[in-house]
């Protein structure tokens, strides 16, 4: 299935080594959407960083539009790279982060800051330091780079991670639109993203490109590529339901916990404390909650008000279909489930 | 990319680095400035009262100006090196300029930390030294050139260091080496020949000489300037290669 064409178009990897990537080889067309599909730790992010020219390969050849993206700065000007994390300095504001990206974009490819900010609903956040944003807001900030540099080569790492349903829809729509005129190479472990984009698939496992499928071929094979289901939800956990982590342990190896965190801001808000009202530098920045211990490291122990629930953000991988429905039922028993999303993920 | 693109991107990068220095890394400037403000409260006055016949305050205060350069320029490289090991440097690596140019801009901006601190100490010392154009020029030139050399020498010393705790130890040691292996409180010419040559290789040594001659005799010595440029350029190149290498091998 490896297609051979001229090396002056699209992205070419030939026997590339770096970190967990052990001899990755593939080629893409000049335009269209390609998804690097593979489980966590398979080397997808490293492949994208190498393609974006921010990492130097230990060995092998990488060409983007016929140019070496690490050594040839001209190639970098024709690449938009959306990382999995916001690449900001400590205390850097959202406005400064986006302006820098826009200002370092060659003139022919510059987008409009206002448009990007408005598309991803970042109005009012430009003066905020990046570290104060939620995970979803950070992802939207990083994704807005797609509208700031309109490049012919676009590399996006986990475009839908941490996004709510509206953010996810917008991200997919935008990527689909951009893939009409540019090459979009994105990394994900969500199979549904492939379907939504109708993208060709580059399967990566243990640092090696295992196979390349056209979308039509992928549709026939998607069941085999599936390794489980990703369940993302916000749960208003009832205090009497016990520790969420202990509850999830009951599922043993059928459920892998990717993320389990208490949303401290939402918890405080439910208690009538709004961090947003505390001005530019709120004095409360960390809240320590230890329900098991009778000793609190600091602060005051108080009785939870009647009806108080603990807002918990969950990201779980469930390895079989039967467990998914059982788990959702159990979660609904433990609290109020909001913004539930279940997607298929690669194995 | 046309010439205008290169200019615009360069300007964006340089102004971003300056904002970084003055906003996000302002402690590089404020911390040594505060230390030297305290140091300048009574020391020059005491020196003037104690050794006015030999102009002791001029000798020592000149040394303090260059120590200001060292304290400003010796901390910045460590954060610079640690940042290169972090993923946030990916942002700089996306800038469509040759990566050595991106690093060079960052380095040239960071080295101004030493210049700002020494100018601050010089301003505080004006009541004792008096103003002259030669002294101002010597402080500006010597501090900036020495900062480049110091920055790179410290980069070489901290090349393998990857965490902040160890960096602070290396920074303290480097500052001691840079300060006390240079003729801060005596003229270079009093040292025996072989020792003089060895001490001259320390980046701030000839900067002290240049500033001291300008302050005491009111002239900018071209020979000292040329030699200072040469020594610091050599350190600069060696350190620059090390930093580019670190970036390539991360």
For B83, the closest chain A residue by CA position comes to A89
For B15, the closest chain A residue by CA position comes to A100
Q: Which of A89, A127, A151 to mutate to test the interface with B (most CBs of B within 10 A)?
A: A89
Positions of chain B with pLDDT under 70? 78-79, 82, 85, 162, 164
| Per-residue pLDDT tens over the stretch A284-322 | 444 445 455 555 445 555 556 677 788 898 989 998 888
CA distance B49 to A181: 77
Task: Answer yes or no: do B24 and A92 touch at CB < 8 A.
Answer: yes
pLDDT > 80? residue A206: yes
At residue B194, the pLDDT reads 93
At residue A275, the pLDDT reads 61
| Per-residue pLDDT tens over the stretch A47-93 | 999 999 999 999 999 999 999 999 999 999 999 999 999 988 777 89
Task: Answer yes or no: do A103 and B96 touch at CB < 8 A.
Answer: no
For B86, the closest chain A residue by CA position comes to A87
Q: Cβ(A194)–Cβ(A343) under 8 Å? A: no
At residue A49, the pLDDT reads 96
Residue A10 tokens, joined: 């699209």
CA distance A187 to A184: 10
Of A85, A90, A103, the CB nearest to B8: A103
What is the number of other CB atoms lying within 10 angstroms of the CB of residue A115? 12
Nearest chain B CA: its distance from A262 CA (Å): 26
Task: Answer yes or no: do B1 and A96 touch at CB < 8 A.
Answer: no
At residue B58, the pLDDT reads 85
The per-residue DSSP string of B36-75 comes to: HHHHHHHHHHHHHHHHGGGTHHHHHHHHHHHHHHHHHHHH
Q: What's the mean pLDDT when you consider all of chain A? A: 86
Q: List chain B residues with CB under 8 Å of A89.
A: 20, 24, 83, 88
| B5 lies within 8 A of chain A by CB | yes
Handedness of CA A178, A183, A186, A192 (dihedral sign): positive
Residue with tokens 């580059």: A202
- Sorted by where each begins, the domain ranges of chain B are 3-248
Quick one: which of A39, A8, A55, A120 has its CA closest to A345?
A39
At residue A4, the pLDDT reads 41
pLDDT > 80? residue A1: no
CA distance B148 to B92: 21
At residue A242, the pLDDT reads 85
Residues 6+ apart with CB under 8 A from B239: B77, B151, B152, B153, B154, B155, B156
Task: Answer yes or no: do A88 and B4 touch at CB < 8 A.
Answer: no
Question: Which CATH code, of 3.30.70.3270, 3.40.50.10800, 3.40.50.1970, 3.40.50.300, is assigned to A11-213?
Answer: 3.40.50.300
Domain with CATH 3.30.70 in chain A: 229-346
Task: Answer yes or no: do A107 and B96 touch at CB < 8 A.
Answer: no
Task: Answer yes or no: do A54 and B94 touch at CB < 8 A.
Answer: yes
At residue A290, the pLDDT reads 47
At residue A2, the pLDDT reads 39
Of B2, B96, B250, the CB nearest to A104: B96
Task: Answer yes or no: do B88 and A91 touch at CB < 8 A.
Answer: no
Residues 6+ apart with CB under 8 A from A195: A219, A222
At residue A299, the pLDDT reads 52
Q: List chain A residues with CB under 8 Å of B94.
A: 52-54, 76, 79, 81, 101, 104
| A110 lies within 8 A of chain B by CB | no
Nearest chain B CA: its distance from A100 CA (Å): 7
For chain B positions 16-35, those within 8 Å of chain A (CB to CB) are 16, 19-20, 23-24
Task: Answer yes or no: do A54 and B88 touch at CB < 8 A.
Answer: no
What is the number of other CB atoms lying within 10 angstroms of the CB of residue A210? 13
pLDDT > 50? residue A218: yes
At residue B26, the pLDDT reads 83
The average pLDDT across A268-286 equals 60
| A134 lies within 8 A of chain B by CB | no
Q: How confident is the model at residue A14 (pLDDT cuts 50, 70, 90)?
A: very high
Cα angle for residues B170, A56, A93 (degrees, 5° grid): 65
Task: Answer yes or no: do B87 and A85 touch at CB < 8 A.
Answer: yes
| Ramachandran angles phi, psi of B119, nearest 5° | -65, -35
DSSP A47: H
| Per-residue pLDDT tens over the stretch A222-255 | 878 888 898 988 899 987 888 899 999 999 989 9
| Per-residue pLDDT tens over the stretch A91-124 | 789 999 999 999 999 999 999 999 999 999 999 9
Domain with CATH 3.40.50.300 in chain A: 11-213
The average pLDDT across A22-32 equals 92
Considering the domain delimited by A229-346, tell me its CATH architecture.
2-Layer Sandwich (3.30)
Q: Which residues pair with A230 in a beta bridge?
A: A317, A343
């Amino acid at each position: 299935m490896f297609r051979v064409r001229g090396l002056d178009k699209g992205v070419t990897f030939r026997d590339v080594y770096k970190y967990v990537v052990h001899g990755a080889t593939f080629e893409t067309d000049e335009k269209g959407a390609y998804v690097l599909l593979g489980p966590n730790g398979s080397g997808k992010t490293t492949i994208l960083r190498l393609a974006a020219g921010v990492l130097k390969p230990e060995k092998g050849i990488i060409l983007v539009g016929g140019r070496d993206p690490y050594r040839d700065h001209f190639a970098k000007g024709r690449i938009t790279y959306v990382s999995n994390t916001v690449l900001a300095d400590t205390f850097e504001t959202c406005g400064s982060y986006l302006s820098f990206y826009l200002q370092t974009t060659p003139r022919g490819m510059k987008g409009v800051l206002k448009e990007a900010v408005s598309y991803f609903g970042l109005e009012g956040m430009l003066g905020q330091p990046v570290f104060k944003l939620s995970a979803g807001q950070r992802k939207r900030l990083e994704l807005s780079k797609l509208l700031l540099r309109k490049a012919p080569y676009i590399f996006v790492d986990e475009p839908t991670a941490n996004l709510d349903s509206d953010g996810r829809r917008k991200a997919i729509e935008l990527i689909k639109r951009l893939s009409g005129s540019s090459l979009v190479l994105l990394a994900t472990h969500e199979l549904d993203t492939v379907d939504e984009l109708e993208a060709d698939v580059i399967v990566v496992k243990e640092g090696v490109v295992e196979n390349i499928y056209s979308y039509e071929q992928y549709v026939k094979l998607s069941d085999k590529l599936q390794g489980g289901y990703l369940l993302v939800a916000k749960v208003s956990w009832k205090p009497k339901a016990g520790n969420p982590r202990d509850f999830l342990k009951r599922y043993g190896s059928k459920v892998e916990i990717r993320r389990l965190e208490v949303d401290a801001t939402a918890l405080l808000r439910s208690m009538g404390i709004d961090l947003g009202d505390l001005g530019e530098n709120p004095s409360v920045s960390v809240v320590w909650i230890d329900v098991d211990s009778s000793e609190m490291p600091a602060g005051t122990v108080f009785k939870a008000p009647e009806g108080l629930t603990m807002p918990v953000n969950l990201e779980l991988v469930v390895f079989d279909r039967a467990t998914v429905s059982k788990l959702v039922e159990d979660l609904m028993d433990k609290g109020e489930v909001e913004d539930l999303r279940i997607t298929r993920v690669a194995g | 990319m046309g010439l205008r693109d290169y200019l615009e991107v360069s300007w964006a990068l340089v102004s971003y680095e300056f904002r970084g220095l003055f906003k996000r890394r302002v402690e590089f400037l404020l911390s040594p400035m505060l230390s030297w403000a305290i140091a300048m409260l009574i020391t020059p006055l005491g020196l003037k009262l104690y050794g006015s016949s030999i102009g002791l305050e001029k000798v020592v205060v000149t040394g303090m100006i260059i120590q200001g350069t060292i304290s400003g320029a010796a901390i910045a490289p460590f954060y610079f090196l640690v940042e290169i090991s972090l993923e946030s440097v990916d942002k700089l690596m996306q800038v469509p300029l040759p990566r050595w140019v991106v690093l060079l801009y960052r380095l040239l901006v960071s080295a101004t930390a030493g210049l700002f601190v020494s100018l601050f100490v010089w301003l505080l010392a004006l009541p004792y030294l008096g103003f002259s154009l030669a002294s101002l020029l010597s402080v500006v030139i010597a501090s900036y050139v020495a900062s480049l050399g110091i920055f790179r020498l410290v980069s070489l010393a901290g090349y393998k260091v990857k965490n902040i705790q160890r960096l602070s130890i290396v920074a303290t040691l480097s500052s001691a080496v840079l300060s006390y292996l240079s003729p801060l409180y005596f003229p270079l010419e009093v040292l025996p020949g072989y020792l003089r040559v060895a001490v001259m290789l320390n980046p701030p040594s000839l900067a002290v000489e240049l500033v001291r001659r300008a302050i005491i005799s009111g002239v900018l010595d071209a020979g000292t300037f040329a030699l200072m440029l040469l020594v610091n350029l050599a350190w600069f190149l060696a350190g620059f290669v090390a930093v580019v290498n670190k970036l390539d091998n991360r």
